[in-house]
Amino acid sequence: MAAAIENIMVTQAAAELEEVFRAHQACVLKAAYRVTGSMADAEDVAQSVFLRLARGAVDHNRISNLQGYLHRSAVNAALDLIRSRGHREVVPVEAADEQHCNSSLSPERAHSSMEIKNWLRQELAKLSPRTAEMFTLRYIEGLDNPEIAAMMNTSQAVVAVTLHRTRARLKKSLRGFRKGAS
């Protein structure tokens, strides 16, 4: 009898997890792709986010904003992936395809755009996780400051100041990058 009840509970948990996966997989994948720039990396990130749920590392029933939690988890896992690579140059296949298929950009401009995207990913990896997450949510994911503040459980003022300082830091670094690339 106890085994039958346990089997029912496991089946229900699996069905709930499948429902969560189906409802949020596209959002998680999109968030990870926007940070990593690689569909293969985004799929790895999505897999790790949902595996944590499946392994019970997080009780998804106790999270009040599951979509926000999964989105943040995807962004953080993607940033962790970039950090783990260090400074290795990675040119995702999708970006290389974009470069060749996009006739509106010259090959030189497409290559320059690719270099800047890779530079930004490396710079984001150098930021504190919270700062990188705020920047990513604002400028890559397109959320506004009040949404970020609510999602990260902080004030709009903290978000605004953090983003202002981060932009200033990145502008300075970009000037150095451009001087070095010339």
- The pTM of the full predicted model, rounded to 2 decimals, is 0.65
H helices of the chain, in order, are 2-36, 39-54, 66-85, 93-101, 107-126, 129-135, 145-152, 156-181
- Domains, the chain, ordered by start: 2-181 (1.20.140.160)
Q: Is the Cβ–Cβ distance between 141 and 56 less than 8 Å?
A: no
Cβ neighbors of 160 (< 8 A, separation 6 or more) are 145
Query: Residue 2 has what pLDDT?
Result: 66
Contacts 24+ apart (CB under 8 A), 19-25: 20/50, 20/53, 20/60, 20/66, 21/50, 24/66, 24/67, 24/70, 25/50
Query: Residue 135 has what pLDDT?
Result: 93
Query: Residue 111 has what pLDDT?
Result: 60
pLDDT along the chain (182 residues), means of 10: 63 81 91 89 93 79 82 90 69 43 57 81 88 90 91 93 95 87 58
Token couple for 148: 């970020």
Query: Residue 29 has what pLDDT?
Result: 92
